[in-house]
Structure 1
Amino acid sequence: MSSLAVAMTISYSTGFFRLIFRWYGSIWRSIYKELIVYLVLFFSVRLFYTLAIPIIDPDQEYRMKARFEAICRQFNEYTKLIPLTFLLGFYVSNVVSRWWRQFECLNWPEDLLSLLCVAVNGTDERSAQNVQVRHRVARYINDKEESPYTRWMTPLHWVQQIMSDEVTKQGMTVTYLTNFISELKSFRTSFRRLFCHDWVCVPLVYTQVAAIATYGFFFFALFGRQNINGNDVDTIFPLFTVVQFLFFVGWYKVGLDLMRPFGLDDDDIELSYILERNINVSFAIVNKLQMSEP
């Protein structure tokens, strides 16, 4: 496995403490900056209530504190009106399903090249030429073009032309050709689906609704969860609010991270490793495995 692959998709054990305290690819790494900023803002609001109000207007301290407490209680009621669990659950569920469908669109060359080795074998007098044909096909199905519209289509079209020439030169049977073209069609269809996933993203308004709901909820919680008279939701440290922050913001971050799975984030799909693996497997099938005795 390449060094790039090691740094990407995270494997983890099922042990509780190892699972919770992993850093790479974890919830802690994903949201620790936002959590620090949120706690700074939270305690800034508390310091404003306890220290700044008496300094601003000592004569009106009790009236200003009473008004501030009323605002905090009202904001705490607002947090109950945001259907955050429903919005995030629906959003992340769709993103995760889309992420897995993109992974399923990745092609693996074994089936296609196995059919190729049956159709263009190396046991007759054209053995050397057949080896060359197999190598060309193996190279093309792992190749790409620079054109943004045909980079995945052109090499597969070349493969189709090669097989058409082989039918003329070698008299390949219709059954072999039909099976190979059918597998090549599936190969092309997977690329097209992957291209469409990259082209058409999750609608922006969908992500905006999830973002506004998540951060709006915790904006109201900045005031609504303050430990003031008549509002004992949290104690000195907003423990339950922090737990909610881990759940909801971490949940939202999952959706953002899985939106584009072919990058360099911790849990992105190891695309470079897959491409390297496919090339090695392809040439092993058409060369080493084809030449070895059963």
Structure 2
Amino acid sequence: MTVTYSSKVANATFFGFHQLLLRWKGSIYKLLYREFILFALLYTVLSIVYRIVLSEDQKRLFEKLSMYCDKYAEQIPVTFVLGFYVTLVVNRWWNQFVNLPWPDRLMFHISSCVQGKDEYGRLLRRTLVRYVNLTSLLIFRSVSTAVCKRFPTMDHVVEAGFMTPEERKVFENVRSPHLKYWIPVVWFSNLASKARQEGRIQDSIDLQNILNEMNRFRTWCATLFGYNWVGVPLVYTQVVTLAVYTFFFACLIGRQFLDHTRGYQGHDLDLYIPVFTLLQFFFYCGWLKKLLWFVREQNGIDGKELPTRFSCWTKIYSGTFPHFVLFLHHARKLST
């Protein structure tokens, strides 16, 4: 989950944006500090071994190995594979957010086009909206681990009021090897057509607008289902991970400061601390870690949010069925 920081830079102060570099929550420092410390420790150990432990002959052999690793490590196309992977994963992550099924427009159409101030009219609008929410819930149970943990079975869906026991029987009687998120869409369309026949929707254009919005909502759900069904190819993740890790494994040896008295090219100074190598590790591995986090987050919401979501639901849901769940019961009473 991204961390909002726009309020921290709302005012144009001299050090406003520089303060963002010192934030810990959601920062690259929090994400990468373990790997960064490990890389620095391994580099330091190799440097101490080269300077103190090895004999002169062993130092000459290590220096040849270091120059070899430094020369051929640059042939690993880290920038290319990381850039390709960044484009793929970030575009995929953003498109999933863009295609989240928002029910607002559909609810506005239902509220304005489905007439009736009596009990039946209110139940009719509530049932239409409930079918919309049920469609999104079935999709979210498929693509989000957090929602699946909140509603692990259809019993929980019925208990929460998104589906009546009668509707569940109809739902389970439909045999399909695929996700049946489209069934509430069919119920919605049939109920909207019935409302038009009964005069609750006074114009066919209004009915068409409602159905078009529902079809748009279904398209969003289908897009999310498709993204969850076809993930990022494992080969891409493996290639990028191996390229980055292999490159920095070679840098552990190839970027060592060698004896400057030997006159090796590019080793005129002995600075002990490889500043630019550490910066390179920080940037490349930071991108890789963040991209792997994106891939993981695309399969569900961070589990750390679950306690908050459960507490919010506990306050909202009192344990009794909402009135709109009893639509069929009230409809039968009104018809008699």
TM over 0.5: yes
**239, 242, 248: which is aligned to 1:212?**
242
Amino acid at match of 1:257: W
Partner of 1:49: 50
Distance 2:245 2:123 in 1: 59
* Contact 1:234/1:241 (<8 A) preserved: no
Partner of 1:63: 57
Distance 2:74 2:56 in 1: 28
Pair 40,265 (structure 1): closer, same or farther in 2 beyond 3 Å = farther
Q: Percent identity?
A: 35
Partner of 2:120: 129
**166, 183, 189: which is aligned to 1:160?**
189
Distance 1:33 1:156 in 2: 48
**63, 67, 73: which is aligned to 2:67?**
73
Pair 116,171 (structure 1): closer, same or farther in 2 beyond 3 Å = closer
Partner of 2:330: none
Amino acid at match of 2:35: E
Gap runs ≥5 in structure 1: 1-7, 54-60, 284-294
Partner of 2:301: 263
How many residue pairs match? The answer is 257
Distance 1:18 1:135 in 2: 48
Aligned CA RMSD, in angstroms, stands at: 2.7
**246, 253, 259: which is aligned to 2:289?**
253
Cα displacement (A) at 1:168: 2.6
* Contact 1:234/1:240 (<8 A) preserved: no
Amino acid at match of 1:196: G
Distance 1:113 1:41 in 2: 59
Cα displacement (A) at 1:254: 2.1
Question: Is 1:184 the equivalent of 2:249?
Answer: no
Between 1:193-202 and 1:171-180, the stretch displaced more is 171-180
Cα displacement (A) at 1:49: 1.1
Pair 141,205 (structure 1): closer, same or farther in 2 beyond 3 Å = same
Cα displacement (A) at 1:169: 2.2
Show CA shifts across 1:49-92 (max 9, x none): 12222xxxxxxx22211010010011011221112111101111
TM-score (norm 1): 0.79
* Contact 2:121/2:200 (<8 A) preserved: no
Between 1:159-168 and 1:22-31, the stretch displaced more is 159-168
Gap runs ≥5 in structure 2: 10-15, 139-153, 155-171, 317-321, 323-336
Name the SS for the 2:217 alignment partner.
Answer: helix
Partner of 1:56: none
